[in-house]
Amino acid sequence: MALLENPLGHPEKFHISKDLGFILEDPLEELPDCYQVWVRLAKNLPSLIQNGQFREEVKQLPELNISQLQGHKEQRLAHLALAVITMGYVWQDSEVMQVLPRKIAVPFCEISKQLGLPPIMVYADCVLANWKKKDPSGPMTYENMDTLFAFPGGDCSKGFFLVSLLVEKAAASAIGVIPDIFEAIKSKNVESLKESLRTVASSVHKAIEVFDLVHKHVNPNVFFDTLRIYLSGWKNNPLLPNGLIYEGVWETPKMFCGGSAAQSSIMQCFDALLGIQHSSAEEKTSAKFLEEMRNYMPSSHKDFLEAVTSSPSVRDFIISSDDIKLKKDYNECVKALVHLRSYHLQVVAKYIINQSNKQDNAKEKKSSDNQEKGTGGTNLMTFLKTVRNTTEKALLKES
């Protein structure tokens, strides 16, 4: 099947950009007139929450049918706006809402079904589709970019989403060489394969460099105390132990994970491409979570990952080769991923674990398990260390 040999042979099918990878290229900022009420409300979320008025505004919304939304970009903007509204409605204050009103729940679930996404804010919303250039003709740099929607926490919200986006952009150059990698394996062109692997390693190193911007643009106190709650889901969350009721859609509450870096298609793409398996006995909890997170990606991105996974094994081809330099180039890709995951651990320690410990010390009590869980609902450090260690185990003997 042609798509398996060349997963980027039909990028429009997968909604993947050759320049930006999984990032939504040139996202729309407005919806057709009748749906603009969602966009306006989502844009006003920070001030309305500050005034305690957001939920009242949600209750004033008209009940809209999504039938007039056309095309992938309109669907993505609608999903993003409804996701932002949902998170604001549930988490506005200490009185957590257990029922999402049908005016939001019904269209949100319908648009989610069309995109193959769950009805909650996912990484593909708040990072991959939540951006614009200040100067449309200018570059995609932090200084020339803004988010479409923000949460309380001022510039911290913008910083968190945009730095994540720029990490994705830095890593995206690897996506363009995936067809070349499979072509090189098919034709047994070892020199071409080495060159492509060097591009992959270089792109991951660039992503690590960009990741460093988080310390400049995201305040740990503001992230932990203000922004983080709006990224949280209703699975494995004691604040919503039974999940959330979607009025007019399901009679029983539903549980969905919050936004998580584990929902980044590009990181799972690197694992699939390099044959990194997170599935041994001691790692099965992490492996299961990563597999579950594929259901939090647009279905087209999930299809792409499955196409890569189903393609001829890059790792097996390299293991069967006698070329020491080829194994070395493969290992450089794996080492770069280990470095990225180690760096992610450091960031999580600074922004979540240390902040949690500070609060414990102030209150003279031990942190609740919930504070050290990620917004996706996992035990953060255990999950991240396991994934990092599994990646390291993929290194090949070069001799």
Domain edges within the chain: 22-361+371-393
Is residue 371 over pLDDT 50?
no
Is residue 280 over pLDDT 90?
no
Rg (CA), the chain: 21
Q: What is the pLDDT of residues 323-345, one digit of tens each?
A: 999 999 999 999 999 999 999 99
What pTM was computed for the model? 0.93
Q: What pLDDT score does 2 carry? A: 40
Is residue 381 over pLDDT 80?
yes
Amino acid at 186: K
CA distance 174 to 182: 13
Amino acid at 396: L
Is residue 367 over pLDDT 50?
no
- CATH tag, 22-361+371-393: 1.20.58.480
User: For residue 380, what pLDDT band results from cuts at 50, 70 and 90?
Assistant: confident
User: For residue 5, what pLDDT band results from cuts at 50, 70 and 90?
Assistant: very low
Mean per-residue pLDDT for 243-263? Answer: 95
Mean per-residue pLDDT for 15-43? Answer: 95
Mean per-residue pLDDT for 43-52? Answer: 97
Is residue 38 over pLDDT 90?
yes
Q: What is the pLDDT of residues 212-229, one digit of tens each?
A: 999 999 999 999 999 999
Is residue 369 over pLDDT 70?
no
Mean pLDDT lowest for which of 22-36, 163-177, 282-296, 337-351? 282-296
Is residue 7 over pLDDT 80?
no
344 is in an annotated binding site: yes
CA distance 394 to 399: 15
Burial of 376 (0-12, 13-18, 19+ CB in 10 A): buried
Mean per-residue pLDDT for 176-192? Answer: 95
Burial of 63 (0-12, 13-18, 19+ CB in 10 A): exposed
Is residue 10 over pLDDT 80?
no
Average pLDDT over the chain, rounded to whole? 91
Cβ atoms of residues 336 and 208 within 8 Å: yes
